[in-house]
Amino acid sequence: MGELSKVKVCVGWDAVDHTGNIASKKGFLGRIQNTVEEIAARAETPDVDIDLNCIICGVDGKKINTVFFANKVDIGNGIALDKDDRTGSSSAGGDDETIHVDLNVVSSVVDKLDFWVDIYDCMTRNQHFGMVRNSFVRVVDETTNQEICRYNLSDDYKNKTAIFVCSVYKKTGEWKFKAEGTATIDTGIRAIERKY
């Protein structure tokens, strides 16, 4: 792999099927009953919201900024989250959220970019990655469109609620990549930020 200049980190997962156990009923009253049963199923099995995050660090390893659902763009560092998908339904088996990074724009005070995924509101909803169908995170060299690494989240991270995906860091003036894949039980982006 040559020198990195543009990368993207992507997460994808399948939406929870709230209608799977509902027998379809005909007619006007049947449609109302279907709707009521679907609402009850949603309350019983809430949607899973996986969040993709980028912690921007200085040479001391301390956090400078975070790109996440409430702060989608860091213009000065060429980092942007495309959207906040709250259900995994924005793609058919593809990427539901993507953070794009133009490493040519990243400020000289930035030494490392750490990428994380976590399950939003995991404690209240009692959710972990083992409950999510067809979930993955992948890292792509956007210049060549070559996938650098990929993790299957559903199989490999049961009972975990956050994953340190990878780092993109400077070494002798060039951007390098390091796969991590470390799973934790951190309960959201604020808990992850406290590590920095």
pLDDT digits (tens, 9 = 90+) for 116-157: 999 999 999 888 888 887 889 999 999 999 999 998 887 778
pLDDT of residue 9 exceeding 50, the answer is yes
The structural domain count of the chain equals 1
Tell me how far apart the alpha carbons of residues 55 and 62 are, in angstroms, rounded to a whole number.
9
pLDDT per residue as tens digits for the range 63-93: 999 999 999 999 999 999 998 776 666 666 6
Provide DSSP, 35-104: HHHHHHHHHHSPPP-EEEEEEEEETTS-EEEEEBTTB-EEGGGTEEE----SSS-SSSSS-SEEEEEETT
Find the CATH number of the domain harbouring 76: 2.60.60.30
For residue 24, being part of any structural domain is answered with: no
Domain that holds residue 183: 6-17+46-193
For residue 25, being part of any structural domain is answered with: no
pLDDT of residue 21 exceeding 80, the answer is no
